[in-house]
Structure 1
Amino acid sequence: MRDCVKTRGGYDRVLMAVAASFLTVSATSALAQGDAPRSSAAELAIEAAIPRPEPANVPPPTAADIKLDTTATVSPDSAKTPAAPQDTAAAPAAPAIKPADSAAAPATEPDKAATAPAAAPNAPATAAAPATETAKDPVKAASNVPAADQPVADRLRDLMTTKGARYLDRKAERAAVEKFYTTRDYAPIWTQSGNLTAAAKGVIARLKEAASDGLNPADYPVPDFAAAATSPDALADADLKLTAAMLDYARQAQSGRMHWSQVSGDIQYPEHPIDPNEVLANVTGAKDASAALDSYNPPQKLYKELKAKLAELRGGAEAAAIQIEDGPALKYTPARGKNAPEADAQMSDPRVPQLRAKLGVENPSDDRYDAKVAAAVRKFQDSVELKPTGILDDRTVKALNTPKRDKQIDTILVNMERWRWLPRDLGAPAIGDAYVILNVPDYTLKVMQHGAQVWTTRVVTGKPGVHATPLLSETMKFITVNPTWNVPPSIIYNEYLPALQQDPTVLERMGLRLERARDGSIHISQPPGEANALGRIRFNFPNKFLVYQHDTPDKYLFAKDERAFSHGCMRVQYPDQYASVLLNIAEPNQHYTPEKIRSMYGSSEIDLKFPTPIPVNITYQTAFVDDAGKLQFRKDIYGRDATMIAMLKNNRGKDLENVVAHAQPSYSRPTGPLPSAVSVAAGNDYSSGPNFFERLFGGGGFNPTPPAPIGRRGQPRGVFTR
């Protein structure tokens, strides 16, 4: 009716028609009933709404009666019932004047709605009222909880309402748990009639085995359900505690016990938090709850291999540790002269047989400190980050007597932790899950596709300290042949401007071009060419740290075992091969070869864009399992292991999951006075122009805006909850 009545005048005409109808009915009813006593207004209204085969003799209705009549018409069936035959055309429409208003009336006028059922028990409106009220109040609804569990459910409802934050300190997890319990009418999740469910047993088993996953079982305490079985209060408390412990495990298994920002400001990985709603549904609905919970650990093969090696190191009875006694330093000196007797170049000591046995050197009964023993000592020193001299001195003896296994276990644990920071899907599905992974301490880069290694090469990485290569996951969008080197602001500030004060001609002699913009800022670049610092190819994956992979004219550095020499970028040994491998993955029909890449070398930049960007993952793996299945350790060149081990052993708990905001890299161009003898590029029309982020990576069309800093803007450092 509301759709048809467009004006107030139309609405008034309808009301008048209804009133006329009631007057007709009332007059006829009065003649029939004579002196019969009048009924109440509510009774009259309800009777008037019920179609009758014969006209009824009732008193004339009032305005209040008409309002009550529309309220009573709440049943769709009553609107469909044929009206009594009347001479007035408007009469049949009376029951369906305003159905929407009729439905809303009980909510807006509860007192009148509550009165109607008592006045007319047989009316259609009264039949619907109890069901409506029950649906609105879930407490009064029939519970689906078994009688034996109802006391626990009642207590769970009270605990979640009054003390939910005590069990779950994260708002999103608390909301998810409350929603999950509500859908179950607060039936306990982990017990039935006081007994543990199969899901509970699986979850408890996984939590107790958390150490095998590189986690700390003490972080996921398991309540004593046997002791709690005698009390609904205790069972409800235990149910919530196990739910909270399960969510803590899933969150830390997936994202880590510590946030990567706690370790250093030069780490940036994408967040991948758990969805607590999904965890609750997944684990409680799984056939194997333990396996479902375990699935939140990293899926990568290298993580699983480290987990297996961790079990080997922890398992089995260890042989009695061989202790090397203190004594004079032992040194092997090669014999001088072709005819010098070998014995003259060696030292003998009663400790050497023990040393041979401990280091696995042949001839365990031989007490001579010969070349083989010295080589074994040198290798050991290198593995524990001592200077590899080959001399058995006091520091080496102390390191030999320190339980090696404990340090190896700690190293494996922090490497497993770093795997949790990486994306769950390292590659791009559209191109066979292809990705690049670079291990900084191992100085190697690998291209992976379909789960297998496609290609590998040596790399040079950043120097320890301010030039450390950052850890990140980004996507390589294109490569540039014959790149221009746009010198980053940090190098201009810290190296080139001070050098210009000493020698104003240094940049000119290095083949660098200096430009000053109209706003006074300075830009330094090196044109493409064989002597360019980036070599012939640059591999671009724009990131806030302004680093990339590139060729280099300093090829001799790849022959060194330790190759941390750059300002943070990664130099690739065979860039032409690397480029062809990536291009053949991105565009397999183009048939790129290293020769085809080299044919592009010249003096003009050439951008080769990938139809599908290739993920690049920069990692820090000081412990990994090689292709032969052997556990390998690498030197902690940036001190990441030491920092993480100390933090985990300090037992700061969930505080380690907080996000720390670090000062962000500066993209501003250097300004300031230059020595008078400095040569500024002639014909300079360089202005404030493109953002430096865009100039650095080239390849127009990419958003030059640097990523937002971690945490709140305007604060150089702070702590925030993940």
Structure 2
Amino acid sequence: MHDLSTGRSGYDRMLAAVAATFLLAGTVTFAHAEPASEAAISAAVPMPDTSLVPPPTAADVKLDAVKPAASAQNEAVEAAKPAATEPAKSESAETRTPAPAAPAAEAAKSEPAKSEASKSEAPAPAATNSDAAKAQTPATTAEPAVAALDPFGEALRDLIAAKGAKYFDRKKERAAVEAFYKDRNYAPLWTKGAAASPRASEAIARLKKADEDGLDAGDYPIPDFAAATTPEAQADVELRLTESALDYARHAQSGRMHWSQVSGDIQYPDHTPDPTEILINISTARNAGAALETYNPPHKAFQQLRAKLTELRGDTDESHKIADGETLRFVKATKKNPNPTVMEDARVPALRAKLGITENASDTHYDATVATAVRKFQAANGLKATGVLDKQTLAALNGPKNDRKIDIVRVNMERWRWLPRDLGAKALGDAYVVLNIPDYSLKLMHNGAPVWKTRVVVGKPGKHATPELTETMKYITVNPTWNVPPSIIYNEYLPALQQDPTVLERMGLKLQRNPDGTIRISQPPGERNALGRIRFNFPNKFLVYQHDTPDKHLFAKTERAFSHGCMRVQNPDQYAANLLSIALPKDHYTPEKIRGMYGRSEININFPTPIPVNIVYHTAFVDDAGVLEFRKDIYGRDARMISLLKGSGKNLEAVVAHSQPNYVKPTNNINIPGDGYADRSSGPNFFELLFGGGRSAQVEQEPRRRRQQQRY
């Protein structure tokens, strides 16, 4: 039997440690320190009364109250220290705080030889500081030590720290790479000694096929793994492949060039992929190459262009060449010659095949179908669109094997990368509008298919070009008022007034001089209104929109670039009815119902869910029949993009800020009706100034083309 007054150090340590554990739930005070029975112990433990406690709610849960076990243990130790180091007090039951009863009972069981007298002889002596420290220190879990880096890890860490900017010139990418490898404790992703890992082989296979995606495989160099025989060289190889993978993913998703490099008339939402997301994706995917490929646009039209690009590059059969011969032309029937001779030539079947004409493939007649296809080819290749198979057209048909077509297809694949991944409104069955400027067409898409299509008139080349953009149509205005934009007032209307003071009155326009001296011209609703009967509103920085027009004859023309930037729609009542059937299906709008709203008062019809409008410039696309179509580059943007794609490619992703052009404001001595006006001159009249000819025509609205300094 132990002497309780001198040999209890081990027992005291055990009691002190158990006391620290019990302090987590609160302090239990007993009448005396003697071991108690199981029933007494249970009765001494305070239990909450749950009979009237309401069920817990979310508000009762406090996440910050949940502490790690190690922290709770540490707090318990700190709480127990005063009790452990406090000197012994008197044996009074009221003033003593003994060790918890349950551990004491267990200790009593382990020492059955002790007598009742010996158990109650003397109080426990005060523990020494060293004993208390040993007793009060629980077996806490130490913070795991960071594994020591191997030579490769050390080399990779040092290379990122010293030369990270050499590989990743974008600050965000550099930070993402540093954090990514640090989280991996600088373990390699691509390297396996002096060889490429299986994951690296998958990524390399995709990078080598970048040309299939319309990109340039040379932009994503593959490092030489076999030559990397030292940790430093292997770290260099690791970062070089990471650099190529990040570049490919970024180019595949958002394009090799920023759209501002091409023109100030373009604005699309930025969707550059996050580098951290790319790294996580390619490091966790089953196949790193397949993960990289997903960054290309998912749109069906892009996939169709990619397939056609492969066909064009694989078409090397020289037997498709068309032999030289006489000039072929199609002569239309006229009153004087109602039955013109249709030319025949043995080369026509080959010409039909070359142009993708499947109808009457073996017919040798140079008929209207062939002439129309020749005309489209000429327009797409920068030739005069005559429909005549002359030597120049023949040379273009037989020219460098598909080189120009390949360039144009690649340019249009690049344009698809600028567009949002989700073109439509998901809440409305992915509904959206797409207007293709070079095709002069507008389509309304719903549930993945076109539900309506019409012709449009777009802006004239130059400063009146229709912009490329993505916005949302928020409402329709029936019977709109035309508030003439300042650019037209100052540059066109006021000069016209100097020649003919009645021109605005004859056009139904109202002129007012504002207090600050500026001029305001407007046209009230009506059948003569330049906007027609309906305006389709999708607010944008260029202040352009789609609208009706009283000038219906322009829709009969093949090339329809006549406006000041806005888009005139051929059948606006049908367009409005189709849009509203998607946006407001319960209101049962029809073209007849829309026309019944025509009058003298403006009526706005709001869309509860806006419908996206995508205005694009696609000079190459695959039609519904699977035929690769080309359109004339009316704004000359293909050549600019081809030049950029074939250049060094160093700064193509840099954003270019385009300044706002100035229009000529009126001087103080410009007179208007009511103020007196200047003498007439013998120059061209108003409509000659506006349209370049003498024919009177209605003028449509073009909003002020505002160019704001872009800041990124």
TM-score (norm 2): 0.73
What is the rounded CA distance, in whole Å, between the counterparts of 2:538 and 2:648 in structure 1?
A: 35
Range with greater deviation from structure 2 (354-363 or 200-209)? 354-363
What is the rounded CA distance, in whole Å, between the counterparts of 2:87 and 2:243 in structure 1?
A: 68
CA distance 1:175–1:575, shift in 2 (3 Å):
same
1:659 to 646, 655, 658: 655
Are residues 1:222 and 2:218 paired?
Answer: no
Are residues 1:141 and 2:146 paired?
Answer: yes
What is the rounded CA distance, in whole Å, between the counterparts of 1:605 and 1:372 in structure 2?
A: 46
Deviations 1:97-151 (A, max 9, x none): xxxxxxxxxxxxxxxxxxxxxx98995699899997x87xxxx7324x6xxxx22
One-letter amino acid matched to 2:183: T
What is the rounded CA distance, in whole Å, between the counterparts of 2:140 and 2:161 in structure 1?
A: 27
* Residue in 1 that maps onto 2:606: 609
What is the rounded CA distance, in whole Å, between the counterparts of 2:619 and 2:521 in structure 1?
A: 37
CA positional deviation for 1:398: 3.3
Are residues 1:203 and 2:196 paired?
Answer: no
What is the rounded CA distance, in whole Å, between the counterparts of 2:421 and 2:269 in structure 1?
A: 10
Identity %: 60
Deviations 1:245-294 (A, max 9, x none): 10001111111011000000100111111111111001110012112111
* Secondary structure of the structure 2 residue equivalent to 1:430: helix
Asked whether the 8 Å contact 1:537–1:551 carries over to 2, the reply is: yes
* Residue in 2 that maps onto 1:537: 534
CA positional deviation for 1:573: 1.0
* Secondary structure of the structure 2 residue equivalent to 1:226: coil
What is the rounded CA distance, in whole Å, between the counterparts of 1:461 and 1:399 in structure 2?
A: 28
1:555-704 equivalence runs, <5 A: 555-649=552-646, 651-664=647-660, 672-677=668-673
Query: Please, what is the CA RMSD of the aligned residues?
Result: 3.9
* Secondary structure of the structure 1 residue equivalent to 2:638: helix
CA distance 1:186–1:642, shift in 2 (3 Å):
same
One-letter amino acid matched to 2:205: A
* Secondary structure of the structure 1 residue equivalent to 2:226: helix
Asked whether the 8 Å contact 1:155–1:233 carries over to 2, the reply is: yes
1:435-474 equivalence runs, <5 A: 435-474=432-471
Query: Relative to total residues, which structure has the larger helix share, 1 or 2?
Result: 1
* Residue in 2 that maps onto 1:357: 350
* Secondary structure of the structure 2 residue equivalent to 1:654: coil
CA positional deviation for 1:634: 1.0
What is the rounded CA distance, in whole Å, between the counterparts of 1:599 and 1:669 in structure 2?
A: 41
* Residue in 2 that maps onto 1:297: 296
CA positional deviation for 1:407: 1.2
* Secondary structure of the structure 2 residue equivalent to 1:711: coil
One-letter amino acid matched to 2:635: Y
CA positional deviation for 1:613: 0.9
What is the rounded CA distance, in whole Å, between the counterparts of 2:430 and 2:558 in structure 1?
A: 31
Asked whether the 8 Å contact 1:414–1:645 carries over to 2, the reply is: yes
* Secondary structure of the structure 2 residue equivalent to 1:659: coil
* Residue in 1 that maps onto 2:43: none
* Residue in 2 that maps onto 1:552: 549
Asked whether the 8 Å contact 1:298–1:420 carries over to 2, the reply is: yes
Asked whether the 8 Å contact 2:661–2:707 carries over to 1, the reply is: no
* Secondary structure of the structure 2 residue equivalent to 1:660: coil
One-letter amino acid matched to 2:79: A
One-letter amino acid matched to 2:611: I
What is the rounded CA distance, in whole Å, between the counterparts of 2:135 and 2:247 in structure 1?
A: 51
What is the rounded CA distance, in whole Å, between the counterparts of 1:404 and 1:528 in structure 2?
A: 55
Are residues 1:284 and 2:283 paired?
Answer: yes
Asked whether the 8 Å contact 2:490–2:665 carries over to 1, the reply is: no
1:490-509 equivalence runs, <5 A: 490-509=487-506
Asked whether the 8 Å contact 1:445–1:458 carries over to 2, the reply is: yes
Are residues 1:482 and 2:487 paired?
Answer: no
* Secondary structure of the structure 2 residue equivalent to 1:270: coil
* Residue in 2 that maps onto 1:187: 187
What is the rounded CA distance, in whole Å, between the counterparts of 2:515 and 2:451 in structure 1?
A: 49
CA distance 1:371–1:157, shift in 2 (3 Å):
closer
CA positional deviation for 1:320: 4.0
What is the rounded CA distance, in whole Å, between the counterparts of 1:313 and 1:363 in structure 2?
A: 21
* Secondary structure of the structure 2 residue equivalent to 1:474: strand
Asked whether the 8 Å contact 2:348–2:366 carries over to 1, the reply is: no
What is the rounded CA distance, in whole Å, between the counterparts of 1:243 and 1:705 in structure 2?
A: 43
CA distance 1:261–1:126, shift in 2 (3 Å):
farther
CA positional deviation for 1:667: 10
CA positional deviation for 1:75: 6.9
* Residue in 2 that maps onto 1:70: none
Are residues 1:271 and 2:273 paired?
Answer: no
What is the rounded CA distance, in whole Å, between the counterparts of 1:340 and 1:442 in structure 2?
A: 32
Asked whether the 8 Å contact 1:550–1:570 carries over to 2, the reply is: yes
CA positional deviation for 1:370: 8.8
CA distance 1:678–1:652, shift in 2 (3 Å):
farther
One-letter amino acid matched to 1:142: A
CA positional deviation for 1:677: 3.5
What is the rounded CA distance, in whole Å, between the counterparts of 1:414 and 1:573 in structure 2?
A: 29
CA positional deviation for 1:316: 5.3
One-letter amino acid matched to 2:619: T
* Secondary structure of the structure 1 residue equivalent to 2:304: helix
1:517 to 514, 525, 529: 514
CA positional deviation for 1:318: 2.1
Deviations 1:45-84 (A, max 9, x none): xxxxxxxxxxxxxxxxxxxxxxxxxxxx987425325334
* Secondary structure of the structure 1 residue equivalent to 2:511: strand
CA positional deviation for 1:201: 1.7
Deviations 1:502-537 (A, max 9, x none): 212211111111111101111111100000000000
* Secondary structure of the structure 1 residue equivalent to 2:472: strand
* Residue in 2 that maps onto 1:64: none
CA positional deviation for 1:652: 2.6
* Secondary structure of the structure 2 residue equivalent to 1:544: coil
Asked whether the 8 Å contact 2:543–2:705 carries over to 1, the reply is: no
Asked whether the 8 Å contact 2:377–2:630 carries over to 1, the reply is: no
* Secondary structure of the structure 1 residue equivalent to 2:227: helix
CA distance 1:697–1:500, shift in 2 (3 Å):
closer
What is the rounded CA distance, in whole Å, between the counterparts of 2:309 and 2:544 in structure 1?
A: 34
TM-score (norm 1): 0.72
CA positional deviation for 1:215: 0.5
CA distance 1:475–1:278, shift in 2 (3 Å):
same
CA distance 1:121–1:544, shift in 2 (3 Å):
farther
CA positional deviation for 1:178: 0.2
One-letter amino acid matched to 1:657: E
* Residue in 2 that maps onto 1:61: none
CA distance 1:309–1:612, shift in 2 (3 Å):
same
Asked whether the 8 Å contact 2:565–2:702 carries over to 1, the reply is: no
Asked whether the 8 Å contact 1:412–1:623 carries over to 2, the reply is: yes
Range with greater deviation from structure 2 (180-189 or 283-292)? 283-292
Asked whether the 8 Å contact 1:623–1:633 carries over to 2, the reply is: yes
Asked whether the 8 Å contact 1:447–1:454 carries over to 2, the reply is: yes
What is the rounded CA distance, in whole Å, between the counterparts of 2:379 and 2:214 in structure 1?
A: 26
CA positional deviation for 1:386: 1.6
What is the rounded CA distance, in whole Å, between the counterparts of 2:256 and 2:379 in structure 1?
A: 30
* Residue in 2 that maps onto 1:45: none
CA positional deviation for 1:168: 0.6
CA distance 1:365–1:586, shift in 2 (3 Å):
closer
Asked whether the 8 Å contact 2:468–2:616 carries over to 1, the reply is: yes
What is the rounded CA distance, in whole Å, between the counterparts of 2:317 and 2:471 in structure 1?
A: 44
* Residue in 2 that maps onto 1:5: none
Structure 2: gaps of 5 or more residues? 1-5, 7-72, 98-128, 355-359, 677-700
CA distance 1:705–1:123, shift in 2 (3 Å):
farther
Structure 1: gaps of 5 or more residues? 1-31, 33-72, 94-118, 681-695, 699-703, 713-722
Asked whether the 8 Å contact 1:474–1:616 carries over to 2, the reply is: yes
One-letter amino acid matched to 1:529: G
